[in-house]
Amino acid sequence: MRVHGDRLILALALSAAAALAAPVSTAWGDPCAMASMTTYIASGFTCTIDDKTFSNFAYSTSGTDLMPASSVTVNPTTDPILGEGFTFQAPWSLTGFSLTTDSLITFDVTNSGGAATIEDASIALFSGSLILGTGTVTITEGICLGGIPCPGGNTGVANSANVSNQFPLISDQAFTPTGTLHASKDILIDTGILGSVTLTSVTDQFSQIPNGLFSVPAPAPLLLLGSGVFGIWARRRLVTRKRGA
């Protein structure tokens, strides 16, 4: 029985060592890649950018002129200040009398490690906007803290532009740090009485508490377990040899 016990203890030590050597992954999906909105809204689609997981995408369009999901490109982006997110690109362009097109994009954002560190959302127009006459561009994002049904409450960030060629236009909203949220982005293009509006991209990003404030625990307890179990096995082998001498 002692031999079997020694083997069991050695097996535990080797298992602990193997667990230390194995890479640790917290990602819940494949890396996000540039693709059509039709790819992102597919059932069960999930992807990651750095330490954030994005899922449950949905898209709808309304107005006098519709923008199909197949015409919207989703391009992942990351920035050391603004955080991780997407640039949504589409040929939003209208000229005439009382014309509108509206694109509504919704999705969930989750910290892959589970920590409540996401604390800011921003929307930006970096380029590709031309507004003439009575035209307007209005972008509104609703943030549902904690995900639906908003256990952490609602907040929002809005960005309106009615003057052409003023870039960048950035609006952001800080909120109570959360580990997950539901975001809804509404992009409205309106010519007004008589105007012309062209918009080619909108960037949406989510930043978090600096990594230095919340460090990931090192695997010291697991290392201690492995070395401890191995020590027990070695001690038992030594005692066995002395008894047999």
Mean pLDDT of 197-212: 83
pLDDT band at 101 (very low <50, low <70, confident <90, very high): very high
User: Which two tokens mark 208?
Assistant: 């978090």
Mean pLDDT of 57-78: 98
DSSP code of residue 116? S
| Residue in 186, 168, 181, 169 with CA at minimum distance from that of residue 208 | 181
pLDDT band at 138 (very low <50, low <70, confident <90, very high): confident
Q: Cβ(180)–Cβ(108) under 8 Å?
A: yes
| Residue in 97, 38, 40 with CA at minimum distance from that of residue 64 | 97
CA dist., res. 98 & res. 181, Å (int): 35
Mean pLDDT of 102-118: 92
Q: Cβ(112)–Cβ(48) under 8 Å?
A: yes
**Exposed e or buried b per residue across 24-62, where buried means at least 16 C-beta atoms within 10 angstroms of its C-beta:** eeebeeeebeeeebebbbeeebbbbbebbbbbbbebebe
Instruction: Specify the DSSP element, H or E, that contains 83.
Output: strand 83-96
pLDDT band at 40 (very low <50, low <70, confident <90, very high): very high
Helices and strands, number each (H, E), in the chain: 3, 14
pLDDT tens, position by position, 10-37: 444 444 444 343 333 333 579 999 999 9
Please report, for residues 1, 10, 32, 236, 245, the alpha-carbon distance to residue 240 in angstroms, rounded to integers and kept in the order given.
Answer: 13, 15, 56, 6, 9
CA dist., res. 69 & res. 37, Å (int): 5
Q: What is the pTM of this model?
A: 0.73
Of the two residues 232 and 146, the one the predictor is more confident about is 146
Long-range contacts of 147-151 (CB under 8 A, 24+ apart): 147/108, 147/110, 147/180, 147/181, 147/182, 148/182, 150/182
Instruction: Specify the DSSP element, H or E, that contains 105.
Output: strand 100-111
